Chain A
Amino acid sequence: MKEQEKEKDEQVIDQHRRQLLKLSAGTIAGVGAVAGAGSWIKHRVEGVEQDGYPVEISPSFKRKDQRDVLLTFAGSKALGEKHPERNLSLSNDADGPAKSGEKSFNFQKGIYQFATAHTRADNNKVGYTQLDYALEQACWHGMNILAPLESMGVPNQGTFGWDQSEVKKEKYPFKDSVEILSAIKTAAKTFGAVRVGICKRDKRWDYDPLYDLTQEKTLTWEEDFPFEPKSVIVMLTDMDYDAMATAPMIPASATAAMGYTQNTIQGGGMAKFLRELGYMAVGSGNDLGSSVSYAIAAGLGEGARNGALIAPNLGPRVRISKVYTNLELDDAAYDKPRDFGILTFCENCKRCAESCPGNAISMDDKPSMSSTFAGSDDPDYNWQGQPGMRKFHNDAKKCFKFWCDNGGDCGACIASCPWNKPDFWHHRLIDASNTFTAGPVHTMMKQADILFGYGNTNDEKAVEKFWRSGFSGDFT
Chain B
Amino acid sequence: MMGLMWYLLGMVTTGAIWGYVYLQRRYNLNWKANLGLFFAFAFAWICIGWSWGSFAEGEPQSGAMGLLNFGLPALILALFTWRKFIQPESK
Contacts and interface: CB of A to CB of B under 8 A. Distances in A.
Contacts of A425: 2, 49, 53
Given A426-B49, A426-B53, A426-B54, A452 B59 contact: yes
Contacts of A474: 1
B67 to A, nearest CB: 12
B2 A453 contact: no
Nearest to A465: B58
B8 interface: no
Contacts of A426: 46, 49-50, 53-54, 66
B42 interface: no
Interface string B34-72: 000000000000100110011011111110011000000
B59 A453 contact: yes
Given A473-B1, A474-B1, A424 B65 contact: no
A452 B65 contact: yes
B7 to A, nearest CB: 14
Contacts of B56: 424, 473
A451 interface: yes
Contacts of A454: 59, 62
A422 interface: yes
Q: Count chain B CB atoms within 10 A of each CB in A426, A469, A474 and give the residue with the most.
A: A426
Q: Count chain A CB atoms within 10 A of each CB in B2, B56, B58, B66 and give the residue with the most.
A: B58
A469 B46 CA distance: 26
Nearest to A456: B61
A456 to B, nearest CB: 9
Q: Count chain B CB atoms within 10 A of each CB in A242, A453, A469, A474 and give the residue with the most.
A: A453
Contacts of A242: 58
A242 B57 CA distance: 10
Contact of A453 (B1, B50, B53, B62): B62
Contacts of B46: 426
A298 B62 CA distance: 34
B1 A452 contact: no
Nearest to B50: A426
Contacts of A451: 65
Interface string A124-137: 00000000000000
Nearest to A449: B62
B57 A424 contact: yes
A426 B2 CA distance: 12
A467 B54 CA distance: 19
Contacts of B61: 452-453
A345 to B, nearest CB: 19
Nearest to B61: A453
A453 B60 CA distance: 8
Q: Count chain A CB atoms within 10 A of each CB in B46, B53, B57, B61 and give the residue with the most.
A: B57
B63 to A, nearest CB: 9
B58 A424 contact: no
Nearest to A469: B58
Contacts of B58: 242, 465, 469, 473
A469 B1 CA distance: 15
Contacts of B1: 473-474
B30 to A, nearest CB: 14
Contacts of A452: 54, 59, 61-62, 65-66
Interface string B60-89: 111001100000000000000000000000
B49 A453 contact: no
Interface in A26-45: none
Nearest to A452: B62
Interface in A433-476: 451-454, 465, 469, 473-474
A452 B1 CA distance: 21
A474 B56 CA distance: 10
A425 B66 CA distance: 14
A462 to B, nearest CB: 10
Interface string A253-277: 0000000000000000000000000
B57 A422 contact: yes
A453 B57 contact: no
A454 B60 CA distance: 10
A452 B61 CA distance: 6
A422 B55 CA distance: 13
A410 B53 CA distance: 28
Contacts of B59: 452-454
14 contacts: A422-B57, A424-B2, A425-B49, A425-B53, A426-B46, A426-B54, A452-B65, A453-B61, A453-B65, A465-B58, A469-B58, A473-B1, A473-B56, A473-B58
Interface of A: 242, 422, 424-426, 451-454, 465, 469, 473-474
A-B pairs with the 6 shortest C-beta distances? A453-B61, A452-B62, A424-B53, A452-B65, A426-B50, A426-B53
Interface of B: 1-2, 46, 49-50, 53-54, 56-62, 65-66
Given A473-B58, A474-B1, 16 more contacts: A422-B57, A424-B54, A424-B57, A425-B2, A425-B49, A425-B53, A426-B46, A426-B49, A426-B50, A451-B65, A452-B54, A452-B66, A453-B65, A454-B59, A465-B58, A473-B56
